[in-house]
Structures are given as structure tokens and as C-alpha cells.
A and B are shown apart, each in its own frame.
Chain A
Amino acid sequence: MQDQSDEALMLAYRDGEAAAFDQLYRRHRPRLFRFFVHETGSQALGEELYQEAWLRVIKARERYQVTARFNTWLYTVAHNVLMDHFRKQGRIGRFEETREELPDTPACPTREPDSEWGRSLSARHLERCMEGLPLEQREAFLLKEQGEFSLDEIAAITGAGMEAIKSRVRYALKKLRGCLEGLL
């Protein structure tokens, strides 16, 4: 079962094989969880949305068909969970207005680039810089870095156009570079 593809495992689970889901879950657990935590900026909230995403996967198993990579489908579910959450909070829509704004970020710490401590500090600083990104840009960046999706796949997951995705990634990187200036 370990050699089976994600899609085969999901089909097996759809047909009633619970062990297939266990395998699938273990494969995607760390990445998906990290995606939610970084997307929400909160471990607790990330955990709840992560759980909700998996519950939706379970619920949708009977309708599952292999039309794309399982990974793409999984992150589409994750995207929908996030959108539902932010929509309820009334946060969607405001990000378009702030697209050009650079985030307020803390002052850059003293850098010791070659030390372990310096690298760790820079990584943590990146975390804070990511939190300052608008939702859509952060999502595009995370899907690219965390999910290792192509731009086409990110467009499919988010339901946005290819040019919009390029624009989001471009802006996200620009802002992160600005935020991390002196650390890179």
C-alpha cells in the first residue's frame, strides 16, 4: 500500500478501505498542517481548519474521481475551507484594497547569517513577514513553496486566472524581499 499513488489510495478509501486513508493522511499531514498554520498565523485556528479540511475530504470521498492530482484536490478543499472561514469573518475583499501596501514589519534583528541561530532567526522573521502579506498573496506564496505547486495548479486550486496568480506571487515575493532586507 505504501507504493500506491495518492489517487489509488483515495479510490481505495472511497471503496471502503479505511487503511488507505491512514496512509494518505500520514503522507499529507505535515505539509497540509503547516500550510494552515502559516495561512492563518495561528496554530490553534490552523489546527481547527486543518481538521475541518480533512473532515470535508472524508465527507466527499464518495464523489471523488481522479480528474487531477490528489494533492491538487486536497489543497482545493483546503482553499475552500480557508475561504469559508475568512468569508465568515468578513475578511475577504479587503485584501484587494491593500494589495499595494507593504506590511508593517518589525525592525530587522542583528544578523549573524552563518550561525544556526542567525538562520533560525531569519526563518522566524520570514514567518512574521508572511503574516503581513495579504491573504491571497500569502496563499499563492504558500501553495508555491509549501505545496510545491506549479502556477497552473495554483490557479486551479484557487479558481483564479493565471495572470492573477503570477501577480500575487510576484507581489508576495517583492514584499517579502522588502521585509527581509538585510537578512537575505
Chain B
Amino acid sequence: MNEHDDLHDEKISALYRQLPPVEPKQETDELILAAARRAVGAGPQRRLRTGWRSGLATAASVLLVGVLYVWQGPAYRHAESMASAPVAAPAATMAAPAPTPVAVAPDIGALQAAGPEPESPAVPVPTASGGSKSVHRHAVAAAHAVSPAPVAVEEKAEQPAQLAENRLAEPKPAATSQLFAYSDAPTEKLSLSAPSASPALADNSMPESQSRSMAPPVSNVDIDGLLDDKPAPATAPSAGFALAAPQMQGAVERPVYQLYMEQGRYALAYQQIDITLALHDPWVRLDYDLLALLDNPAHRPLLCRQHPVKRADDAIVHDACLVLHGYAAGSGLHRAAQAKARRRLAKRIGEERPERDYWLRALDALEEKRAEARKAQ
């Protein structure tokens, strides 16, 4: 092939090969490799669970038959005896409509011989299925809570395959409950999903110490309370906030921000959560990029504080602030503005493809502008 024809250009190829190498993070590698190992190891476990379920279903069925027999047996036996017994002795049979111990005992014995006796027959079946459904609903709701836009909710509902992938990555309930901190949902809904209110989740994998350290999420917050002059601390505060992030092997963790109360004022702080649950939500991805900004302590106090970014200054950063405020405030008042800002932001990012450090540069420029304005005053 020629050095330069319309389908190949050796100079461009050479230039491409000179691009600096890029590497995924070690956490990403670990997560993928752990998922691969889990997937291979999951086969027998699944079969085991299936066997257990089918055994339980069989036992429940047998028990149901037994119960029905006990309930309806006397009448059945009575009818049978009426059909077969001599006409001379009807009164004795008719006088005893309730089942006698003598009649029932052999049947229960037969049931016990057929399989293990279920201790509380009505409980295990619904608990087993209902429990997993509860986890599933919880995961879906958590993903919805992170992306309150209705569009995202619909997408989630329509994509069971993605949810299955979420389950493949084994999202942790602890992270799930933390995600609710960003919900626009009212407080009652949040409290329903708290670990303590969901024993199936609490005893699944969340350590008790973490459950205790989870502060109730702040919602319905007055946005003005957030926008104080006090810079957010470099580390998570010691009160009113979940300090210890769950450290699960192979989890990809990103900083996520949450409101906390310190000395009667609201401020932003962050903690690490497992993002695997939210991995398939593009809105969350978008916001993670924005939130990553606050990793830089120098810029943390600048972002969106006191609504300093006017639309005329920088439309993208302004929208980013609205999105962040929507998260932070959790207030119905801001939901519409947040949803609109999300859409505008996604569109503009899609079209303009700002570089990764766009936010920092924009904020620096705004800060310089403000400093000049202060000097002029």
C-alpha cells in the first residue's frame, strides 16, 4: 500500500502510534477480574440455589396437600364412609365432624417420612422469593433515586438485562442505601430504604458498624443553607455523616457528595460509594464527571457557591451547578430546574465535547473575574 492513499496514511498512522499510552485504573482491572472469577464460580452456586428452592417448593407442596387433607379429610372420609358403610350406623359418624387424632396422626407421619418437616410452612416460600424481589426493587429504586429524571427511570425499567449486569457486579446494599442520600424522593421514601428498615438487606452484607454509622440522609433542605461561605472540609466530617465507606474487594469507587450538617449549617462532603450499581445510568456518569471536580480541595469552595456562576458567564458550568444543587437540595422546588439542566448539559457536552479540565479552567476564569471585580469595587 502506498504511504499515502485515500484509505491509508502512513504518517498519520505513525503519529497515532506516538500517542502517549493510557492505562485503566488498577481498581478497574481488579473489578473486572473479580467479576470474571465470580461468574465462573457462580455456576454451581446457582444450581445449588435452584436445588434448594425446588426442594423447598416440594416440601411446601407436600405440606399444602397435607393441610388440605387435614381440613377436608373428615368430610371426605365421612362421605366415603357414608357411601360404603352399612346404613345401620350413621349416627356415630355424623356425631363427630371434627377430625380425630387417630385419623390424622398417620397422615402427618407419612408427611414427615416423605421429607423434612418445614418449621413454618407459610414463611420460607414468600420470604425467599419476596426477599430477592425486595433487593431487586431496592436496587432499581436506588438507581432511580440517583437519576431522578423520569426518562432514566423508564430506561431502567425497560432494561432488565442491564439490571442483570448490575447484579453480576454484585452491588452492595450499603452503597445502595447511601445512594438514596441523593434522592429527590420525600423523606418517608428514604426511610423505607434505610438498612434498619430492611432486614433482608441489613443482614445480607452490611456490617452492623456501618449501619450504625449511617446518618439519615438530609432531604428537603433549604438551598440557601447549603450555599454558605464556609468551605467544605478536606475530609468527611465526624458527625451526621457516614464516615466509613464499605471497602468491598474489586469495587470501583468514586467520590460522591452528600449534604451534611455541621454546627447547624449545611455543607457538602463526600464519601466513597460503589458505582457498579449506577454504572449503566448515563446521567450518573455525567454527574460523576462533574462531581470529580470537587476532588480538588482548591476548587471545592468555588463550585456553585452562592450561585456565583451566572448563565451569561458560562452556561455549561451554570447547568452543572444546577445539577449539583438538585442533588444537594433534594427539594421538589429544584427538581424541574435540575432535570432541564441535565438535558441541556448532556446536549452541550455531546456537541461541544469539552475537555476534561474544562470545568477547572472555567472556574478559574470565573474566580479571576470575580477577583478583578472586587478590586474594581
Query: Contact residues of A with B, CB < 8 Å?
Result: 13, 16-18, 21-22, 25, 29-30, 33-34, 37-38, 41-48, 50-52, 54-56, 58-59, 61, 85, 88-91, 119-120, 122-124, 126-127, 131, 145-146, 151, 166, 169-170, 173-174, 176-177, 180, 183-184
Contacts of B33 in A (CB 8 A): 21-22, 25
How near does chain A come to B285, taking the closest CB pair, in angstroms? 6
B350 within 8 A of A: yes
CB of B289 within 8 A of CB of A126, answer no
Contacts of B289 in A (CB 8 A): 42, 44-45
Contacts of B32 in A (CB 8 A): 25, 51, 54-55, 58
CB of B22 within 8 A of CB of A55, answer no
Which of B7, B12, B279, B282 is within 8 Å of A151, CB to CB? Answer: B7
Query: Contact residues of B with A, CB < 8 Å?
Result: 6-9, 11-13, 15-16, 18-25, 28-29, 31-33, 35-37, 39-41, 43, 155, 164-165, 168-169, 252, 279-280, 282, 285, 288-289, 292, 346-347, 350, 353, 356
Which of B11, B15, B279 is within 8 Å of A51, CB to CB? Answer: B279
Known: A21-B36, A85-B282. A33 touches B23 (CB 8 A): yes
CB of A29 within 8 A of CB of B24, answer yes
How near does chain B come to A49, taking the closest CB pair, in angstroms? 9
CB of A43 within 8 A of CB of B356, answer yes
CA distance A184 to B29 in the complex (A): 36
Contacts of A90 in B (CB 8 A): 346-347, 350
CA distance A57 to B43 in the complex (A): 16
What are 27 pairs between A and B in contact, CB < 8 Å?
Answer: A13-B40, A21-B33, A29-B24, A29-B29, A34-B19, A42-B289, A42-B356, A43-B356, A44-B356, A45-B289, A46-B22, A48-B285, A51-B28, A51-B31, A51-B32, A52-B280, A54-B32, A55-B32, A58-B36, A58-B168, A85-B282, A123-B20, A124-B20, A169-B7, A170-B6, A176-B12, A177-B12
How near does chain A come to B227, taking the closest CB pair, in angstroms? 27
How near does chain B come to A160, taking the closest CB pair, in angstroms? 15
Main secondary structure of the interface of A (DSSP, over half): helix
Interface centre among B11, B31, B32, B356 (most CB of A within 10 A): B32
Contacts of B35 in A (CB 8 A): 54-55, 58
How near does chain A come to B183, taking the closest CB pair, in angstroms? 21
- Find the B residue at minimum CB distance from A177: B9
CA distance A61 to B41 in the complex (A): 13
- Find the B residue at minimum CB distance from A45: B285
How near does chain B come to A145, taking the closest CB pair, in angstroms? 5
CB of B168 within 8 A of CB of A55, answer yes
CA distance A126 to B31 in the complex (A): 32
CA distance A147 to B40 in the complex (A): 28
Contacts of B292 in A (CB 8 A): 44
Known contacts A34-B21, A89-B346; 13 additional CB pairs below 8 A are: A21-B37, A21-B40, A25-B33, A33-B24, A34-B22, A45-B285, A59-B39, A59-B165, A90-B347, A120-B18, A126-B12, A170-B7, A184-B15
- Find the A residue at minimum CB distance from B288: A44
CB of A184 within 8 A of CB of B11, answer yes
CA distance A41 to B279 in the complex (A): 18
CB of B18 within 8 A of CB of A123, answer yes
Contacts of B169 in A (CB 8 A): 55
Known: A18-B40, A59-B39. A173 touches B285 (CB 8 A): no
Known: A30-B21, A52-B280. A17 touches B16 (CB 8 A): no
- Find the A residue at minimum CB distance from B5: A173
How near does chain A come to B28, taking the closest CB pair, in angstroms? 5
Which of B18, B43, B282 is within 8 Å of A88, CB to CB? Answer: B282
Contacts of B350 in A (CB 8 A): 89-91
CB of A33 within 8 A of CB of B22, answer yes
How near does chain A come to B319, taking the closest CB pair, in angstroms? 15
Contacts of B36 in A (CB 8 A): 13, 18, 21-22, 25, 54, 58
CA distance A174 to B9 in the complex (A): 10
CB of B168 within 8 A of CB of A50, answer no
Contacts of A16 in B (CB 8 A): 40, 43
Which of A45, A48, A54, A173 is within 8 Å of B12, CB to CB? Answer: A173
CA distance A47 to B275 in the complex (A): 12
CA distance A30 to B41 in the complex (A): 26
- Find the A residue at minimum CB distance from B275: A48
CB of A89 within 8 A of CB of B282, answer yes
